[in-house]
Each structure stands twice: as C-alpha cells, then as structure tokens.
Structure 1
C-alpha cells in the first residue's frame, strides 16, 4: 500500500497528508493500519502526488502503479 511510504517521503503527518488528499485523518490512519483500503479516487490523488515528486517518487510509482516517471 503506497499510503505510508508516500506520506513519509513527503514528510507529512497523517493529518497533513489527509488534508492534501481531501480525506479525514481517520481514513489515512485506517489505510496505514490495514483496516480499510483507499478508494480509487484517493489512489489517483496519491499517484498524482508521486508524479509531482519526480525522481523521489518514481520507485513508488513503479512498485504500486507500474508507471515509471517519464
């Protein structure tokens, strides 16, 4: 699951990461603890954040979305 790794690589708390995605802190916490999975719309937001990170996010894009950075 790309949630924790993306958040940590961005240096954000769960609350700030949740705000960046437009979801609740509790949602991010549940994702990271494996209780629920992100909805497709949230996964698209995470993918977008990884693209915006450039080379720093490329390995996570490949691992979780199988789309290398162009």
Structure 2
C-alpha cells in the first residue's frame, strides 16, 4: 500500500483479502457475493452494501491486531479527508 495516499474502502478490502491470503474468487465465496462484485469493490467502481460491510467488519475483528490496525488506519485517513 502506498504511503501518503488516502485509504479508501477499496484499499481496505484488497488489503484484508491479501492478508487472509485469499483470491478474489475465494473471498467472494466467503462473503456470499460474486467474483465480479469483489473486483468492482477493489477497483472502486462500486461499494459494498451495508450487509457486506458488516461481514467485512467481522472478518477484520477475527484477524485480531492486524485487522484492528487496518480499521484504525482506514478510519484515521477517512477522518483526515473529512477535516480538509
């Protein structure tokens, strides 16, 4: 992940998938969505539904410290964008 670049939901999804060592196809199966959906999320052309975001949040929590670090980084970058 590039330093200094604002972190987007697409970045956190890609980072989570990579940290779980899952292909887009396997990640899609875990979330109950299509491969095309994961691809769109990671490309930033669409965003996850509220239900999908809840499942992603649960996956992050199960990761323990690495998941919490991702959430913290994502939220701090989002807050910085809102402040500017």
> Do the two structures share a fold, i.e. TM-score over 0.5?
yes
Q: Deviation of residue 65 (structure 1)?
A: 5.5
Aligned length: 66
Deviating beyond 2 angstroms after TM superposition, the runs of 4 or more aligned structure 1 residues are 63-66
Alignment of 1:42-61 (within 5 A): 42-61=52-71
State the TM-score, normalized to the length of structure 2: 0.72
- Map of 1:64 onto structure 2: 74
- Map of 2:51 onto structure 1: 41
- RMSD across aligned C-alpha pairs, in angstroms? 1.4
> In 2, Cα distance between the equivalents of 1:54 and 1:65?
17
Larger RCO, structures 1/2 (Cα 8 Å, 6+ apart): 2
Q: Deviation of residue 56 (structure 1)?
A: 1.8
> Unmatched 5+ residue regions in structure 2?
1-8, 77-84
> Unmatched 5+ residue regions in structure 1?
none
